[in-house]
Amino acid sequence: MFTTRGVRTAAVAAMVIGSIAILAGCGTSSGSSEGAEEQTELGDYEGQVSILAWPGYVEDGSNDPAVDWVSAFEDKTGCQVTSKSYGTSDEAVSLMKTGDYDVVAASGDATLRLIAAGDVAPVNTDLIPNYEGVFDFLKDKEWNSVDGQSYGVPHGYGANLLLFNTDEVSPAPTSWDIVFDGASEYSGKITAYDSPIYIADAAVYLMAHQPDLGIENPYALDETQFAAAVDLLKAQRPHVGEYWSDYLKEIQAFETGDSVAGTTWQVIENVLEGEGAATDVVLPEEGATGWSDTWMIASQAENPNCAYAWLDWIASPEANAQATAYFGEAPSSQEACDYRDDCEAYHAGDADYASQIWYWTTPIADCVDGRTDVECVDYAQWTEAWAEIKG
Amino acid sequence: MSTPPLTDTRSIRVPPPPATPARRASAFLSTHPRTRLALLLTAPLFWLVVVYIVALVLLLITAFWRVDSFTGEIVTDWTLDNIITVVTGALYQTVTLRTLGVAIAVTIIDVALALPIAFYMAKVASPRMQRFLVIAVLMPLWASYLVKAYAWRSVLSQEGILEWMLAPLGLHTPGYGLTATIITLSYLWLPYVILPIYAGLERVPDSLLEASADLGGKTWRTVGSVVLPLAFPAIIAGTIFSFSLSLGDYITVNIVGGANQMLGNLVYTNVGAANNLPLAAAIALIPIVIIFGYLALVRRTGALNNL
């Protein structure tokens, strides 16, 4: 039929034209934007700032009326804060690509990727008065600076601890053995952090138990070392009840007894304790992975002055104390301990203790432990291996 | 007695309607059928083609691009690497088989549950009961997917109601895992299977059932020779829903699946975690290919007319 054919032709033509137009629009590579310059002076506040952070880092009292270090900032600077929380570092890296955020609180496994992608700008620490009080052992590390150029302000730090059910697991474990070689005893009730970076936890265990592998840094693994870590995790896999990345999911699993041992954060134990669950945490003798988070500014930030104001605010002893205490981690400065009574529990300022924690760092082909004779396994391969481990 | 004067209608001249723009447009459209058609279809076609199909095709095209492993930027070089990885990788084969297995199990369970319910609703129940049952089947659809999935997480947990009920019988909850995933998905998709089968069975004339009885057909003979052949396209229509919905699901397996992952999880982690959109698009092609294969297979049964 004449009309039907006409319509069909028109439809096909419209589809083809539409596709071509849209394909042409996005057919070219955008290319990575070359790193933005660091700011040399501050201007007027823009009136708002948008922040991407871990849950519990930007609290304005809406979750818990007693917890609020945002309103005072808004009153002081006039910068209205909008914030979004994310669940994993990988999610943060994805979200920063949208360009919707001025500030991000990134852990060490995300920072280098953000810097390399040109998503964050160098930070001029001279414009941040409170930067001076920050512990020296947190400054200019491989996860928050490149070639001596600072890319942000340290927030706080903590370890990925071993959480266990005190009714089911006795005596209290002192080693990661319970979730690796000894996992069969609690088969099906072991839990592990659901992220490629968890491979480093296996590497930390191997450092102590298979010294002949020669692992110096869990984030600098050559092929052999990496394969050993992956094998360890594949052996662990049948005993894992579930992997967690949503911390509420882990809390529920430990409350109901579906999980009895696995990695955790102090904040999770705090919640469990508050709800009367029979759980406890320990920093095992092998040491642990951990995180030292960095507040960074987006290279395309629309509100850079409010962003600098936020960085200064969150580094101030009082705000830093509130934020790190709420999350359950050590603060970034000694002065912050004046506003907290639990600093000792987190070994705040204890550089020796801090040095036992292997802070999350993005694994890259140039080994971060300084070896030059081998090539290390990069994060893309960690991601692939992680999917394979889970099977 | 005088008759009222009849109005001579012929003598009244109806003034021509004023030539408003609307009237002019209407006159134009009535004489130009193709313009009329174009105006009618432009908006829906735009939606269907640009918003619906092109967007999907564009997403799938990224399967032929790659990602810079460190910065995470998409590099628009044409490459088949992702497709090759997905087709040859042992991981993807295992997960594809697992996902297919779950989808098939869910479909079988749902059809087995839906057939008797739908038959009762269509052929046995009183009209009042029928209405009540339709509402009862639809009811779970009014609650959020997440609420239902998390409800099953509580039911299946070590301290859940299932353990409480089964423990006296010496049985235990399956815990989190593939069994839990199959149970939860079967629960979630059951209404989508019952409704098409119910609609199909309603169309089977009662007279055929009576004719079968008159000819001496027993219940099972009638079901086997009359009802099932006539309801077959409707059953297939129902399976398309449960099968395709299970193939694409990742939330349920994330909530109750323990350490297991399905194709949807691989897509999700590659988009959200690994930020590897090209690989995710390549993985997403697997369920699309499977479901197109299934549709091609069932096209001749007439099932698609029932959707």
CA B92 to chain centre: 24
Q: Which residue of B has its CA nearest to A391?
A: B91
CA quadruple A353, A358, A362, A368: dihedral positive or negative? Answer: positive
Helices and strands of chain A, counted as H and E runs: 12, 15
First to last CA, chain B: 70
The whole-angstrom separation of Cα B148 and Cα B190 is: 13
User: Region A247-264: what's the mean pLDDT?
Assistant: 91
The whole-angstrom separation of Cα B213 and Cα A178 is: 68
Task: Say whether A242 and B73 touch across the interface (CB within 8 A).
Answer: no
Q: Which phi and psi angles does A161 have, rounded to 5°?
A: -90, 175
- Secondary structure of A94-131 as H, E, C letters: HHHCCCCCCEEEECHHHHHHHHHCCCEECCCHHHCHHH
The residue of B36, B41, B49, B277 whose CB has the most chain A CBs within 10 angstroms, and thus the best one to mutate to test that interface, is: B49
Does residue B136 have a pLDDT over 50? yes
User: Region A83-101: what's the mean pLDDT?
Assistant: 87
Q: Which phi and psi angles does A291 have, rounded to 5°?
A: -140, 150
Decide which of B106 and B43 is more confident.
Answer: B106
State the helix-helix crossing angle for A223-236 and A199-209, rounded to 10 degrees: 100
Which pTM does this prediction carry? 0.77
Percent of chain A surpassing pLDDT 70: 91
Query: A214 CB near a chain B CB, below 8 Å?
Result: no
CA A97 to chain centre: 16
Decide which of B66 and B182 is more confident.
Answer: B182
For position A350, what pLDDT does the model report?
80
Interface of A with B in 80-109 (CB under 8 A): 88, 90-91, 93-94, 97
Reading the block at residue B208, the tokens are: 């055929």
Q: pLDDT band at B298, cuts 50/70/90?
A: confident
The whole-angstrom separation of Cα B307 and Cα B299 is: 12
CA A374 to chain centre: 27
The whole-angstrom separation of Cα A290 and Cα A198 is: 10
- Of A105-109, A291-295, B49-53, B268-272, which gets the smallest average pLDDT? B268-272
- Burial (CB count <10 Å: 0-12, 13-18, 19+), residue A30: exposed
For position A21, what pLDDT does the model report?
44
The model's pLDDT over A267-306, given as tens digits with 9 standing for 90+, comes to 888 889 888 899 999 989 999 999 889 999 999 899 999 9
- Enumerate the residues of chain A whose CB falls inside 8 A of the CB of residue B71: 32, 113, 116-118
For position A27, what pLDDT does the model report?
38
Tell me the nearest-neighbour CA distance from A170 into chain B, angstroms.
Answer: 20
Choose from A11-20, A166-175, B40-49 the range with maximum mean pLDDT: A166-175
- Enumerate the residues of chain A whose CB falls inside 8 A of the CB of residue B269: 387
The model's pLDDT over A345-375, given as tens digits with 9 standing for 90+, comes to 777 878 777 777 898 888 888 888 888 888 9
The whole-angstrom separation of Cα A223 and Cα A373 is: 13
Query: A15 CB near a chain B CB, below 8 Å?
Result: yes
The model's pLDDT over B229-282, given as tens digits with 9 standing for 90+, comes to 888 889 999 999 999 999 999 999 999 998 899 999 998 888 766 677 888 899
CB A205 within 8 A of CB A213: no
Closest CA to A330 of A311, A318, A344, A316: A344
Helix or strand (DSSP H, E) at A25: helix A2-26
Decide which of A391 and B71 is more confident.
Answer: A391
In this structure, the strands spanning A288-298 and A357-359 are parallel
- Enumerate the residues of chain A whose CB falls inside 8 A of the CB of residue B257: 242
For residue A3, give the nearest of B37, B160, B266 by CB distance.
Answer: B37
Reading the block at residue B260, the tokens are: 């297991």
The whole-angstrom separation of Cα B85 and Cα A380 is: 14
Does residue A204 have a pLDDT over 90? yes
Reading the block at residue B152, the tokens are: 């099953």
Closest CA to A190 of A260, A247, A250, A283: A260
The model's pLDDT over B101-117, given as tens digits with 9 standing for 90+, comes to 999 999 999 999 999 99
For position A158, what pLDDT does the model report?
87
CB B111 within 8 A of CB B190: no
User: Region A104-128: what's the mean pLDDT?
Assistant: 90
For residue A116, give the nearest of B37, B71, B160 by CB distance.
Answer: B71
Closest CA to A291 of A211, A195, A383: A195
- Three-state SS at A53: strand
Q: pLDDT band at B301, cuts 50/70/90?
A: confident
Does residue A1 have a pLDDT over 60? no
Does residue A191 have a pLDDT over 80? yes
User: How many Cα atoms sit within 13 Å of A70 on the Cβ side?
Assistant: 21
Q: pLDDT band at A20, cuts 50/70/90?
A: very low
For position A213, what pLDDT does the model report?
93
Does residue A50 have a pLDDT over 90? yes
The whole-angstrom separation of Cα B191 and Cα B138 is: 6
Task: Say whether A118 and B71 touch across the interface (CB within 8 A).
Answer: yes
Q: Which residue of A has its CA nearest to B255?
A: A249
For position B271, what pLDDT does the model report?
77
For position B7, what pLDDT does the model report?
56
Decide which of A144 and B72 is more confident.
Answer: A144
Reading the block at residue B33, the tokens are: 């059928």
- Secondary structure of chain B as H, E, C letters: CCCCCCCCHHHCCCCCCCCCHHHHHHHHHHHCHHHHHHHHHHHHHHHHHHHHHHHHHHHHHHHHCEECCCCCCEECCCCCHHHHHHHHCHHHHHHHHHHHHHHHHHHHHHHHHHHHHHHHHHHHCCHHHHHHHHHHHHHHHHCCHHHHHHHHHHHHCCCCHHHHHHHHHCCCCCCCCHHHHHHHHHHHHHHHHHHHHHHHHHCCCHHHHHHHHHCCCCHHHHHHHHHHHHHHHHHHHHHHHHHHHHHHCCHHHHHHCCCCCCHHHHHHHHHHHCCCHHHHHHHHHHHHHHHHHHHHHHHHHCHHHHC
Interface of A with B in 343-382 (CB under 8 A): 364, 378-381
For residue A240, give the nearest of B69, B70, B259 by CB distance.
Answer: B259
For position A51, what pLDDT does the model report?
95
CA B218 to chain centre: 35
Decide which of A157 and A262 is more confident.
Answer: A262
The DSSP result for A256-300, as a single string, is HTS--EEEE-HHHHHHHHHTT-SEEEE--TT-EEEEEEEEEEETT
CB A105 within 8 A of CB A57: yes
The DSSP result for A223-238, as a single string, is HHHHHHHHHHHHHHGG
Helix or strand (DSSP H, E) at A157: strand A153-159
- In the 8-state DSSP scheme, what is residue A51? E
Q: pLDDT band at A15, cuts 50/70/90?
A: very low
Ramachandran area for residue A291 (φ above 0: left; ψ -120 to 50: alpha; else beta) = beta
First to last CA, chain A: 54
Closest CA to A276 of A304, A244, A251, A248: A251
Question: Who contacts A339 (Cβ-Cβ below 8 Å, separation ≥6)?
Answer: A317, A318, A321, A322
Does residue B2 have a pLDDT over 60? no
CB A83 within 8 A of CB A273: no
The residue of B61, B82, B269 whose CB has the most chain A CBs within 10 angstroms, and thus the best one to mutate to test that interface, is: B269
- Of A15-19, A153-157, B168-172, B230-234, which gets the smallest average pLDDT? A15-19
User: Region A96-119: what's the mean pLDDT?
Assistant: 89
- Burial (CB count <10 Å: 0-12, 13-18, 19+), residue A129: exposed
User: Region B116-129: what's the mean pLDDT?
Assistant: 92
- Three-state SS at A240: strand
Closest CA to A366 of A118, A97, A137, A112: A112
CB pairs under 8 A between A and B: 118
Residue A69 carries which side chain, given as an amino acid letter?
Answer: W
The model's pLDDT over A56-76, given as tens digits with 9 standing for 90+, comes to 899 888 878 888 999 999 999
Does residue B20 have a pLDDT over 80? yes
